Chains A and B, each alone.
Chain A
Amino acid sequence: MESHNPPLQSLGQPNAFDALSACIHCGMCLPACPTYRVTGSEAESPRGRLYLMRASVEGQLAEPKQLMDHLDLCLGCLGCQTACPSGVNYEALLMQSRQKLVQYQNPVKRWIRRLLLKQVLPRPFILNGFAKVLRLYQISGLQRLVRNLQLPKLLGPLGKQERFMPQIPEGKPISLGQVFGVNQRGRVALFTGCIMNAVYHRVHQATIAVLVANGYEVVIPEQTCCGALAHHSGERDIVESLAKQNLDKLLAANPDWIVVNAAGCGSTLKEYDHILEALPEGRVFSEKVIDVMALLAKRPLAEPLDPVSDRVTYHAACHLHHAQRVQQEPYEVLKQIPGLTLIPLTEAEMCCGSAGVYNLAHPDLSLAILQEKMGHVEKTQADIVLAANPGCMLQLETGIAQSSIAMDVMHPIEILAKAYRDQ
């Protein structure tokens, strides 16, 4: 599979990379990039990655690997895009590059990954089943045994991944096909996602409760995986097929809004208009997609709200803050809760290092990025750290488990649900 041709150009469409010319190499994006921050290397910075993309387009790199190695380490957090005054569309450039680079990847690894993306993630029963087994492993004391015996160390590199394993709570994933509440303000379809539903079904329960209290009818239509992981790995055909299925199934429920509480899923669903370029409904679909906090920020929260006496801090998930640009809304909503203390988090919008499966692919780097995040989180001395994405929630839980701090991790909607607990 190795080719010595310039990887990007050789695939035609040199114009797809025209957007590169917006980068004037000023470096303003560097400190916003978590991988630059922990490696210190220009080649692991946005400016460096864009420079290498350009070098690749111009045929100056000897082999595709020279670009691939550095794009692989990119979290896709888009901190750089928010920081860039020149308006460089880093996300589009990264996607285009990855789509073109997949063909040069190790074919066996790629085959396994495609299998996961195509056959496992879109089938909730496999994931939910795995979650059940994992919960058994955790509550039976087996996990404690494994960790006490220092087995993760014996597992070598895999041991690092063991640390990122989610703690599975009790309860059941939300099942599809249900309807809640009555339609006073609108009818919304809840997107359940794979990980959110398998691990954090409590977040869905909170979302439904808050939306119902605010006058929304909530339907849970048939649906499948949003395709985020496939999208970020450049596997275009897989994401296209998943997008097509979701589009048909969710639009069939005839919702005013498609509500998402997982930032990563939300940003991918909003991209369906690009992913399904040829379909006019793609646009209709994407315009209906909205993050639950953004929907709730549209009007004052329904009264009455019970006081919530927690001290919380808010970590801004990349795919909400940078990708969807939902930035002020979560604060605006949280500020309406009586009694709540909202402590500002320094660099709230820096990535926590979770980034899909990044923590499994690059555990060392991910942990180093997490460590910076945890330093800031710890300084807030909050009781609860809020994050609107299951990946971030898992990552923060790992961070807390590894440190001496006692803090809970929640989705912001769960705090809201507390304010509506008696209704």
Chain B
Amino acid sequence: MGSMSKITPTLKRLFQRIVGHAFVLDAPEVLKAYECDACVLMKAQPDLVVLPANTQEVAQVVKICHEFEIPFIARGSGTGLSGGTLPVSGGIFIGLSRMNHILEIDPENRIARVETGVINAWLNRDTRPFKLFYAPDPSSQAACSIGGNIAENAGGIHCVKYGVTTDHILGLEVVTPEGDIVSLGGPHGHYRGINWVGLFVGSEGTFGIATQAIVRLTPLPQTIKVFLASFSKLQHAAALVADIMASGLRPSALEMMDDVTIKAVNEAFSTGFPQDAEAVLLIELDGHTDEVAMAEQQLMPLLSQHQVQQLRQAEDEAERLTLWKARKGAVAAYGRILPAFYLHDCVIPRSELVHVLTQIQAIGKAHEVVIANVFHAGDGNLHPNILLDPDDPAMVKRVLAAGEEILKACLDVGGVLSGEHGIGIEKSEFMDLVFTWDEIDVMRRLKQVFDPKGIANPDKILPVKSGCGEVRKGLAPHMLQAQGTWI
């Protein structure tokens, strides 16, 4: 907000003519419903929401934005955790929620062509009959859109083996910030020239709007085995993770949950994880049956070298699916403890897991906050969720302080800011902790090439170096909002 709405009645009519009256939303309460994504600490309302039905409509809407210099922000399902859709300088939302059709599944070439509003889980549902799947599986896959995944270069439970979103996007149809429709890559991927697809994936909507994608499909493995190991100390689990990954084993998933998480998911999904454990690991092996048997032989001695409290193997597919459903629902299940959460998403070297997790525990104690860990351990991608009540300002303050200390602890051991949730607005203030201002300037120049008018999801990723050379470092955006400095 902050800036005056640039949406005149004439502009509104123009948008209505493109997408139809029903799909231009500006009732005050509707705009309010759009004021935040899954990161509830930060809020800003768009001036208008437009819900186009196809690429042409998106392009026409963007053309108008370009002509009248109206900021526009692509919005998928609004499950983002870094405030990526927050319209901090006003502008309109271009929602992809109606562009949710799977256009083609080509099992022979193992590709699918989809509109970017398609929900990640639907793609898997529809490719399964062909014994294929779309590998990147964020925990939010029941709700998040392929477009949002592309923008954030989303990761997931199985990415430790199969790679993240960027490894599975072969081609894109993009509406540029000037309103042109371009295709990047193609069914066979990028094969010559600059790798535009690679550049676009992870650009968080700042280079334009992806309207269609050609994605790679992967054959479903012949055999899948899931083991559940519990530990009386978080550190024991962390040490095992480092050893597994160092051993050369390639688990298809290696996830950790701590005691707070165990309690929440047991309640939500009746999973029956050991209540007295301080951590559980979910270890999945997949592939050809022989391959899995060999991997299992390699895994067992490793398990015996660490203090495993209890070891269980998922009996059948139903139990395996329940375990993963519980893992994927963990963050939402925190709602049973406190109404909101704030998390960082750093990736650290796996050899530092024990050290950093110990530090996180200490930081939680010092700031008297509840921290729940559930994360992609095999990737070293931490998710310390600090639980909070947004209506308790003192608690929010402690949470933010703890968050910043955790972040610094991660960066101190050579970690990076974000594994999969993106920088958005929430972490842009921390960019200069990991990049020099020269490096940030290169990124800014790149952005200008795509978006000369700076209207495609402005204010995201790149931090603001304020006029007097002083950086607004350490001030998380929600605090800025509280001080009324959203401009």
A355 vs chain B, min Cβ distance (A): 20
Q: At the interface, yes or no: B334 with Cβ under 8 Å from chain A?
A: yes
B142: chain A residues at CB < 8 Å are 28, 31, 83
Residue A86 contacts which of B23, B27, B122, B333 (CB distance < 8 angstroms)?
Answer: B333
Which of A21, A24, A36, A48 neighbours the largest number of chain B CB atoms within 10 Å of its CB? A24
Interface segment out of the listed A55-63, A184-192, A297-305: A55-63
Known: A25-B38, A55-B29, A61-B29. A30 touches B334 (CB 8 A): no
Residue B268 contacts which of A45, A52, A66, A85 (CB distance < 8 angstroms)?
Answer: A85
A41: chain B residues at CB < 8 Å are 25, 30, 49, 51, 95, 97
B28-68 CB mask vs A (1 if < 8 Å, else 0) is: 11101110111010000000010100000000000000000
B462 vs chain A, min Cβ distance (A): 26
Known: A62-B28, A66-B28, A85-B329. A25 touches B36 (CB 8 A): yes
B332 vs chain A, min Cβ distance (A): 4
Q: How long is the Cα–Cα vector from A330 to B195 in the complex, in angstroms?
A: 52
Residue of A nearest to B144 (CB): A27
Q: At the interface, yes or no: A269 with Cβ under 8 Å from chain B?
A: no
B95: chain A residues at CB < 8 Å are 40-42
B323: chain A residues at CB < 8 Å are none
A28: chain B residues at CB < 8 Å are 79, 140, 142-143, 329, 332
Q: At the interface, yes or no: B78 with Cβ under 8 Å from chain A?
A: yes
Known: A23-B339, A67-B29. A40 touches B143 (CB 8 A): no
A332-358 CB mask vs B (1 if < 8 Å, else 0) is: 000000000000001000000000000
Contact A84 B332 (CB under 8 A): yes
A40: chain B residues at CB < 8 Å are 23, 51, 95, 97-98
Q: At the interface, yes or no: A133 with Cβ under 8 Å from chain B?
A: no
A37: chain B residues at CB < 8 Å are 100
Contact A52 B77 (CB under 8 A): no
Contact A43 B341 (CB under 8 A): no
Q: At the interface, yes or no: B272 with Cβ under 8 Å from chain A?
A: no
A346: chain B residues at CB < 8 Å are 125
Known: A27-B78, A27-B140, A51-B33. A87 touches B97 (CB 8 A): no
Q: At the interface, yes or no: B312 with Cβ under 8 Å from chain A?
A: no
Residue B336 contacts which of A25, A36, A87 (CB distance < 8 angstroms)?
Answer: A87
A76 vs chain B, min Cβ distance (A): 19
Residue B335 contacts which of A30, A45, A62, A87 (CB distance < 8 angstroms)?
Answer: A87
Q: How long is the Cα–Cα vector from A24 to B390 in the complex, in angstroms?
A: 10
A52: chain B residues at CB < 8 Å are 29, 32-33
Q: At the interface, yes or no: A316 with Cβ under 8 Å from chain B?
A: no
Contact A48 B33 (CB under 8 A): yes
Q: At the interface, yes or no: A219 with Cβ under 8 Å from chain B?
A: no
Q: At the interface, yes or no: A22 with Cβ under 8 Å from chain B?
A: yes
Contact A26 B33 (CB under 8 A): no
8 A Cβ contacts from B134-160 to A: 140, 142-144
A193 vs chain B, min Cβ distance (A): 33
Q: How long is the Cα–Cα vector from A39 to B33 in the complex, in angstroms?
A: 14
A48: chain B residues at CB < 8 Å are 33
Q: How long is the Cα–Cα vector from A40 to B334 in the complex, in angstroms?
A: 27
Known: A24-B340, A24-B341. A87 touches B268 (CB 8 A): yes
Q: At the interface, yes or no: A418 with Cβ under 8 Å from chain B?
A: no
Q: At the interface, yes or no: B331 with Cβ under 8 Å from chain A?
A: yes
Which of A40, A45, A48, A61 neighbours the largest number of chain B CB atoms within 10 Å of its CB? A40
A335 vs chain B, min Cβ distance (A): 16
Q: How long is the Cα–Cα vector from A69 to B30 in the complex, in angstroms?
A: 10
Q: How many A-B residue pairs have CB under 8 A?
A: 122
How many A residues have CB within 8 A of the partner chain?
A: 37
B92 vs chain A, min Cβ distance (A): 14
Residue of A nearest to B96 (CB): A40
B119: chain A residues at CB < 8 Å are 31
Residue of B nearest to A24 (CB): B335
Interface band, chain B: 35 or more
A270 vs chain B, min Cβ distance (A): 21
8 A Cβ contacts from A75-93 to B: 83-88
Contact B336 A55 (CB under 8 A): no
Q: How long is the Cα–Cα vector from A86 to B49 in the complex, in angstroms?
A: 28
Known: A23-B339, A26-B38, A26-B140. A60 touches B32 (CB 8 A): yes
Residue of B nearest to A61 (CB): B29
Residue B29 contacts which of A26, A70, A88 (CB distance < 8 angstroms)?
Answer: A70
Contact B329 A43 (CB under 8 A): no
Contact B25 A43 (CB under 8 A): yes
Residue B331 contacts which of A26, A36, A55, A66 (CB distance < 8 angstroms)?
Answer: A26
Residue of B nearest to A41 (CB): B25
Contact A27 B79 (CB under 8 A): yes
Residue of A nearest to B330 (CB): A85
B389: chain A residues at CB < 8 Å are 21
Contact A25 B40 (CB under 8 A): yes
8 A Cβ contacts from B323-370 to A: 329-336, 339-341
Q: How long is the Cα–Cα vector from A240 to B339 in the complex, in angstroms?
A: 33
A369-403 CB mask vs B (1 if < 8 Å, else 0) is: 00000000000000000000000000000000000
Contact B339 A21 (CB under 8 A): yes
A39: chain B residues at CB < 8 Å are 22, 51
B335: chain A residues at CB < 8 Å are 21-24, 26, 85-88
A327 vs chain B, min Cβ distance (A): 14
Residue of B nearest to A21 (CB): B339
Known: A61-B29, A83-B142. A42 touches B332 (CB 8 A): no
Q: How long is the Cα–Cα vector from A354 to B402 in the complex, in angstroms?
A: 49
Q: How long is the Cα–Cα vector from A88 to B333 in the complex, in angstroms?
A: 10
Q: How long is the Cα–Cα vector from A350 to B269 in the complex, in angstroms?
A: 21
Residue of A nearest to B141 (CB): A28
Contact B32 A51 (CB under 8 A): yes
Q: How long is the Cα–Cα vector from A25 to B27 in the complex, in angstroms?
A: 21
Contact A86 B268 (CB under 8 A): yes
A66: chain B residues at CB < 8 Å are 27-29
B59-92 CB mask vs A (1 if < 8 Å, else 0) is: 0000000000000000001110000000000000
A27: chain B residues at CB < 8 Å are 37-38, 77-79, 140, 143-144
6 contacting pairs across A/B (C-beta < 8 A): A25-B36, A40-B23, A40-B98, A67-B29, A86-B334, A346-B125
Interface residues of A (CB under 8 A from B): 21-31, 36-37, 39-43, 45, 48, 51-52, 55, 60-62, 66-67, 69-70, 83-88, 346
5 additional contacts (CB under 8 A) given A27-B143, A28-B140: A24-B40, A28-B329, A30-B143, A40-B97, A43-B30
Interface residues of B (CB under 8 A from A): 22-23, 25, 27-30, 32-34, 36-38, 40, 49, 51, 77-79, 95, 97-98, 100, 119, 121-122, 125, 140, 142-144, 267-269, 329-336, 339-341, 389
In the A-B complex, the 8 residue pairs with the smallest Cβ-Cβ separation, listed nearest first, are A86-B335, A85-B329, A85-B332, A40-B97, A66-B29, A48-B33, A21-B339, A40-B98
